[in-house]
């Protein structure tokens, strides 16, 4: 009998390969936060890689809601929703989310990853089909693989490709799944065209709008609302951990579909409900996101300023009107070197490498928030131009100006 592979040896070989390719992943420890400034491994940096788009994670009303409910209800929900873990604040949060997004019902989950797995597993079986955009989030891809259905993928943002995949696999039920806002490119899916493709092939359209809800569309209701689809997208996902600043997610949509998930989805039935205090914080964040449109207005202005200044400095960004602003670096080593050069200048921007993005598409993923000041964005663009020139990615179109503290950008609170 052949000897079994040694898992420790396999892991060591994989680690060596990642290191050789410049793809080692290292956790950074945040000691303290003050708005968009973070103390990281003992040094204060200006954070441009957070998904806290509306600046709600430290907003006093959100924090107060968490503290107040924790003082009354304790730390945890103590059970799954279907046992004794469903509290009144969970109910209130689901109703508030459904009213905001304009959906009949909402159902809370512990994370977006769990929510996507729940949707695909509960709706599709071995003989069914899941058609997905090539750049969909890993949670959607893994959900289809774990569900055991047939997974077919189409070229990025290509409705004709989606239609071909649906036509080419006519048997069984079908789900057409796409990100609303793509997390690494920042562009928005062509939802109206995808909805037509799904309708033509009797497939259900599911939109993971983790990076859209709170940021795009009327009143921040997301990419589905921006596309004016209403009932044409029977299910969509909203995260609580990005623009809303908290943790968890919700699936929203058709009441019958939501009830089916609540009764059968394994990631819902067999896991502990969100802590009531966390739900209370998210409820406060949703109310702020609905009421304070100035946060989105400011964010749009930040995006326009960043793109204008980047173009002036010869920095080629991917096309995106959202807070996700990627700067392609090509190779993994260049992306890592760019991130390191930025950190030397006091800026924290993550280098994103394969397998998170396709081969040869390593990048800096700059994210903007309503808490960033115009002078901080200007300083970041200056630092990016200097770093790009140093690494040899793109020459700066203009001579570098003074950055950081010289223009009043304080990296220490």
> Which residues are documented as binding site?
25, 112-113, 137, 183, 211, 239, 356
Token pair 């609303």 in the structure block, residue? 180
Contact 362, 329 (CB under 8 A): yes
Length of the chain equals: 413
Binding residues for pyridoxal 5'-phosphate: 112-113, 183, 211, 239
Q: Backbone dihedral region of 128: left (phi > 0), alpha (psi from -120 to 50 degrees) or beta? A: beta
Cα distances from 339 to residues 16, 29, 44, 252, 369, in angstroms, run 22, 16, 15, 37, 19
With H, G, I as helix, E, B as strand and everything else as coil, classify residue 238: strand
DSSP codes, 362-392: EEEEEE--TT--HHHHHHHHHHHHHHHHHHT
Could you give phi then psi for residue 177, rounded to 5 degrees?
-115, 135
- Please state, in angstroms and rounded to a whole number, the distance separating the CA atoms of residues 360 and 364: 13
- Which residues face 237 on adjacent strands? 208, 251
With H, G, I as helix, E, B as strand and everything else as coil, classify residue 137: coil
Characterize 243-264 residue by residue with b for buried, 16 or more Cβ atoms within 10 angstroms of its Cβ, and e for exposed. bbbbbbbbbbbbeebbeebbee
Strands 105-109 and 249-253: what pairing? antiparallel
Sheet bearing 105-109, strands edge to edge: 105-109, 249-253, 235-239, 204-208, 174-179, 129-133, 150-154
- Which residues face 31 on adjacent strands? none
Binding residues for substrate: 25, 137, 356
Contact 122, 264 (CB under 8 A): yes
- The closest alpha carbon to 80, from 301, 311, 268, belongs to 268
- Please state, in angstroms and rounded to a whole number, the distance separating the CA atoms of residues 131 and 135: 12
């Amino acid at each position: 009998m052949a000897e079994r592979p040694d898992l420790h040896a396999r892991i060591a070989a994989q680690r060596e390969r990642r290191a050789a390719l410049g793809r080692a992943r290292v956790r950074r420890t945040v000691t303290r936060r003050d708005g968009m400034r973070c103390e990281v491994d003992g040094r204060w940096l200006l954070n441009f890689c957070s998904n806290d788009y509306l600046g709600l994670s430290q907003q006093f009303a959100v924090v107060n809601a968490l503290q107040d409910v924790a003082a009354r209800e304790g730390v945890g929900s103590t059970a799954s929703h279907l046992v004794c873990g469903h509290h009144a604040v969970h109910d209130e949060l689901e109703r508030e989310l459904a009213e905001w997004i304009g959906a009949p019902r909402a159902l809370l989950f512990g994370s977006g990853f769990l929510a996507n797995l729940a949707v695909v597993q509960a709706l599709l079986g071995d003989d069914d089909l899941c058609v997905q955009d090539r750049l969909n989030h890993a949670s959607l891809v893994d959900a289809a693989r774990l569900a055991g259905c047939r997974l077919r993928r189409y070229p990025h943002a290509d409705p004709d490709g989606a239609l071909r995949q649906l036509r080419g696999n006519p048997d069984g039920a079908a789900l057409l799944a796409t990100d609303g806002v793509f997390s690494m490119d920042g562009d928005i899916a062509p939802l109206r065209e995808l909805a037509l493709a799904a309708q033509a092939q009797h497939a259900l359209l599911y939109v993971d709008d983790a990076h859209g809800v709170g940021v795009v569309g009327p009143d921040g209701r997301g990419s589905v609302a921006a596309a004016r689809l209403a009932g044409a997208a029977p299910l969509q996902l909203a995260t609580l951990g990005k623009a809303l600043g908290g943790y968890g997610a919700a699936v929203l949509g058709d009441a019958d579909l939501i009830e089916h998930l609540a009764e059968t989805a394994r990631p819902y039935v067999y896991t502990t409900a969100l802590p009531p205090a966390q739900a209370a914080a998210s409820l406060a964040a949703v109310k702020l996101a609905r009421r304070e449109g100035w946060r989105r207005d400011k964010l749009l202005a930040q995006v326009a300023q960043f793109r204008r200044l980047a173009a002036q400095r010869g920095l080629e960004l991917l096309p995106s009107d959202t807070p996700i602003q990627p700067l392609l670096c090509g190779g993994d080593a260049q992306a890592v070197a760019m991130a390191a050069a930025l950190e030397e200048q006091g800026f924290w921007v993550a280098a994103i490498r394969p397998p998170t993005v396709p081969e040869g598409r390593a990048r800096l993923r700059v994210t903007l928030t309503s808490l960033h000041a115009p002078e901080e964005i200007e300083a970041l663009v200056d630092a990016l131009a200097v770093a790009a020139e140093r690494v040899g990615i793109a020459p700066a179109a203009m001579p570098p100006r003074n950055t950081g503290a010289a223009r009043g950008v304080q990296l220490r609170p």
